[in-house]
Amino acid sequence: MPSGKTHLKIEAVMLVLWAGLSVPLLLREWITSSQVVLFLGSYLFSMFLMSPDLDLSKSDAFYRWGVLRWLWLPYAWVFRHRQMSHHLLLGPLSRIVYIGILVLAGMFIYLVATGNPGPRLMLSIEILLPICLGLYLPNLEHILADQISTSRRRKRRRHRL
């Protein structure tokens, strides 16, 4: 299984490729610069803070949350390492739903404490699509890297027997 640093290197290389791919799309005006910024911001957030390895309470991803890392303890307790948290679709979805619950809880606490509902966000498909892609792609790259590494290790083991 690749280390946390190896995952980050793979995801950083892919980020450069995705950013390069966005240039011709921008030039043809198929996408806007604000969509690229949303994608890149979501990608970086996901790369550093939404890793599938949040299912381990001793992973790099877990410690990157700093003083807030305890927020991910219930997630690590519920999801066994490399099980559903590493599923191509359900894994990223579980973390997006989990962080959504945390945000809603934070908004509720803010509302109760201040009586102010906070800023309202108008979400459209033009905003949600680059955010979802940015959140999903680093997870996809992580899971594929884990699977490739595992299948290589199994092949090596079979050759030794």
Residues in contact with Zn ion by the rule CB under 5 A: 52-53, 146
At its nearest, how many Å lie between Zn ion and the CB of residue 132?
20
Q: Which is nearer to Zn ion, 127 or 147 (CB)?
A: 147
Cα–Cα distance measured from residue 68 to residue 114, given in angstroms and rounded to the nearest whole number: 22
Cα–Cα distance measured from residue 121 to residue 6, given in angstroms and rounded to the nearest whole number: 36
At its nearest, how many Å lie between Zn ion and the CB of residue 56?
8
Q: How far is CA 113 from CA 101, 104, 136, 145, in A?
A: 18, 14, 33, 44
Which residue bears the tokens 């599938």? 52
At its nearest, how many Å lie between Zn ion and the CB of residue 93?
16
Q: Which is nearer to Zn ion, 11 or 53 (CB)?
A: 53
Q: How many helices (H) and strands (E) does the chain have?
A: 6, 0
At its nearest, how many Å lie between Zn ion and the CB of residue 45?
18
Q: Which of 3, 35, 6 is nearest to 19 (CA)?
A: 35
Q: Which is nearer to Zn ion, 31 or 87 (CB)?
A: 87
Q: Which of 47, 40, 39, 63 is nearest to 6 (CA)?
A: 47
Residue 51, φ and ψ in degrees, nearest 5: -60, 145
At its nearest, how many Å lie between Zn ion and the CB of residue 142?
6
Q: Which is nearer to Zn ion, 131 or 145 (CB)?
A: 145
Q: Which is nearer to Zn ion, 36 or 98 (CB)?
A: 98
